[in-house]
Amino acid sequence: MEIVDNDTCVILLKGEDKARSLDERAENFLKQYANEKLTVIDTKEYDLPGIDPRFRTYFTPVILNLCLVESLTPAMQAKTGRSQKTRRYYGVVEY
């Protein structure tokens, strides 16, 4: 969240666990500061054949991490030259 603005592409991964309310808070924040290039990937919108719905909360974070975070984060850092450690909003504005 520290490097977001309307010139920065942002991908928000929304899960289906107890932390979903935090995902929704993050989405609201991002819509305010980075809405123009915001992509929300919500696991509720995807079928997971063979996985019992009771267990989706356990599998979706693993799937999202392996497919997106592990691959996209390093590629995005390399392309933009911006580190995840940059701080613009944390501790500066309320969200």
Cα separation, 3 vs 84, whole angstroms:
7
Tens-place pLDDT, residues 18-42:
999 999 999 999 999 988 989 898 9
Does the structural domain 10-80 have CATH classification 2.60.40.10?
no
The pLDDT > 90 percentage for the chain reads 29
CA distance 49 to 55: 12
> How many beta carbons lie within 10 A of that of residue 71, not counting itself?
11
pTM score: 0.66
In which element (H, E) is residue 15 found? none
Q: DSSP string spanning 3-51? A: T-STTS-EEEEE-SSTTHHHHHHHHHHHHHHSGGGEEEEEGGGS--TTS
Average pLDDT value over all residues in the chain: 85
